[in-house]
Copies of this chain bind each other. A is one copy, B any other.
Amino acid sequence: MPRTLSRYLPILDWGRRYDRSALTNDMIAAVIVTIMLIPQSLAYALLAGLPPEAGIYASIAPILLYAIFGTSRALAVGPVAVVSLLTASAVGQVAEQGTAGYAVAALTLAGLSGAFLVLLGVFRLGFLANFLSHPVIAGFITASGILIATSQLKHILGVEAHGHTLIEMVGSLLSHLGGINPITLVIGVAATAFLFWVRRGLKPLLRRMGAGPLAADIATKAGPVAAVVVTTLAVWAFGLADRGVAVVGSVPQALPPLTMPGLSPDLVRQLLIPAILISVIGFVESISVAQTLAAKKRQRIDPDQELIGLGAANLGAAFTGGYPVTGGFARSVVNFDAGAETPAAGAFTAAGLAIAAVALTPLVYYLPNATLAATIVVAVLSLVDLSILQKTWSYSRADFAAVAATILLTLTMGVEIGVASGVILSVLLHLWTTSRPHVAEVGLVPGTHHFRNIDRHDVHTDPRVLTLRIDESLYFVNARFLEDLVQDRVTEGCEVQHVVLMCSAVNAIDYSALESLEAVNHRLADMNVGLHLSEVKGPVMDRLKTTHFLDQLNGRVFLSQYDAWTALAQRPDRADAAE
């Protein structure tokens, strides 16, 4: 049993070998990550429409639980931008922002998401996440970045505005432009400009001034902390909060509370689909970060156990005043670069944040929302990558269509419809591309045993033998295509006496395709034409042998195409074909 136990509790594995060196490295990483997380957690809570402390709480219990159940050594779990946006969109549909019902619904969303992830993990259904293709994810994240940045403009301008789609947001912003608060605007624009400079200009500057790459990187990541400190001091010193600058205000000075997610059937029904969506998107993001970091140290990630780790983290968030969380890219990379060796680094980060929650919350009273909005805008604009449109266009039109549709629908119809349409469209496009497989008529390359496309190469052919190489598995979506194709080719070429299907690239034949092959066989027999197969793969052949198809075949199965050719071609008369 210990092996099974350590599968479900990876902490038993790394915990046993924990030593002083690992402790030191983990502590250093934890300090760095904690400092970075304080403003980030507050900002993402703002984005999710929740009180600022929810962001801090969502980083404490979840980190601890992931440290126990997760398999990645470096993944840092907590609120992230895209999941915060999805939370705002889902919870905004069932409750008014700022009400108690809103916070409870966010807990429910985290609870449902956690339960769903744990279920997927226990039943080892992680592969379901693969339905989200890379183009759909890329399109969705780019569109989300644009939506998030737009949603923060109201804080930077100091106006009221609402909406969940780009058009609603921009319309609402424009209609409120008259109410711009000039001081808020100055703070917001200055903070944004500063943070952009930190990201683009500071790091090269520090390197030129002789700083090491790690130090330069950490200083850059500390940019938001500097912006927070300076703008908070400015608001406090000049009494700007009384002049209309929105600030974070009073945050409870306490450890995460024990909370109970709302479980009314109505609420659960309304939040179930968004919870599944958040789970899957969060999981996909998290697993790719975890895999990338693990590979750098030749470590192993168990995707199904990751589901359990992330599920536990979300359940933790649901019962401690948080909201849906996942493994974040930026924080995990900082954690990894800062030298974290084990998930204990996460536990120390949680402790650091708990101290901050108890001791430091009064200090953020005068922190302007505009500064938090600026940190969000600068962070998410790095997610926006429209080059994916150009890349997929040049690679494959089907992938381009999936990206473009996902971006367009996410921006105009909202995050849920956007990603759902993307998934459905990529499945349909896949079915469509495989519905008309590449089929080449092949002939013998003179002097060899190889067969190549007659349109591309100068090859030997025989008008009585039609050899088709099918470059696709045969299944229901393309089964009838094959029927039509063979019938067309044979009725065109009246001399044809043998059809050979070269199956070297046919990885599977499903029951529909089997019936199509039977139909082709009968129809060719009616036309007095033989049907032969060559180079059938082992697993496919095993399956065909369980049927009567091979007995009824009006022709032969050849191990190699060359055998088929020598047996069928270049003979004077083969009217006796059907042997």
Contacts and interface: CB of A to CB of B under 8 A. Distances in A.
Interface of A: 127, 129-136, 287-288, 291-292, 294-296, 298-301, 303, 391-392, 394-396, 398-399, 426-427, 430-438, 456, 471-473, 475-481, 483-484, 487-488, 490-491, 504-505, 507-508, 510-512, 514-516, 519, 522-524, 526-527, 537-539, 543, 546-547
Contact of A133 (B427, B512, B524): B512
B430 A475 contact: yes
Contact of A130 (B480, B511, B538): B480
A504 to B, nearest CB: 7
A510 B403 CA distance: 13
A505 B537 contact: yes
Contacts of A391: 511, 547
Contact of A303 (B399, B478, B484): B484
A427 B401 CA distance: 20
Among A296, A394, A483, A512, the one with the most B-chain Cβ atoms within 10 Å of its Cβ is: A512
Given A511-B135, A511-B392, A519-B292, A130 B303 contact: no
User: Interface centre among A136, A292, A484, A546, by most B CB within 10 Å?
Assistant: A484
A170 B77 CA distance: 56
- The 8 A-B pairs with the shortest beta carbon distances in the complex, nearest first, are A295-B523, A133-B476, A399-B511, A134-B512, A133-B512, A134-B515, A296-B526, A471-B507
Contacts of A484: 291, 301, 303
B476 A473 contact: no
A122 B11 CA distance: 63
B394 A471 contact: no
Contacts of A133: 475-476, 479, 510-512
28 contacts: A127-B432, A130-B479, A131-B477, A132-B476, A133-B475, A133-B479, A133-B512, A135-B512, A291-B483, A292-B522, A295-B522, A295-B526, A299-B491, A303-B480, A392-B511, A396-B511, A396-B543, A398-B510, A427-B427, A427-B431, A430-B475, A430-B477, A438-B539, A456-B538, A471-B537, A472-B507, A473-B507, A504-B505
Contacts of A479: 130, 133-134
Contacts of A295: 487, 522-524, 526-527
Determine how many copies of this chain the complex contains: 2
A436 B124 CA distance: 13
Contacts of A131: 431, 476-477
A507 B505 contact: yes
A476 B127 contact: no
Contacts of A514: 395
A514 B398 CA distance: 14
A510 B399 contact: yes
Contacts of A539: 438, 471
B519 A288 contact: yes
Contacts of A472: 473, 507-508
A348 B505 CA distance: 49
Interface centre among A130, A303, A434, A504 (most CB of B within 10 A): A130
A130 B475 CA distance: 10
A295 B507 CA distance: 28
Contacts of A129: 480
Contacts of A438: 507, 539
A299 B436 CA distance: 22
Contact of A298 (B300, B476, B478, B527): B527
A543 B395 contact: yes
A441 to B, nearest CB: 15
Contact of A546 (B395, B456, B476): B395
A3 to B, nearest CB: 16
Contacts of A299: 491
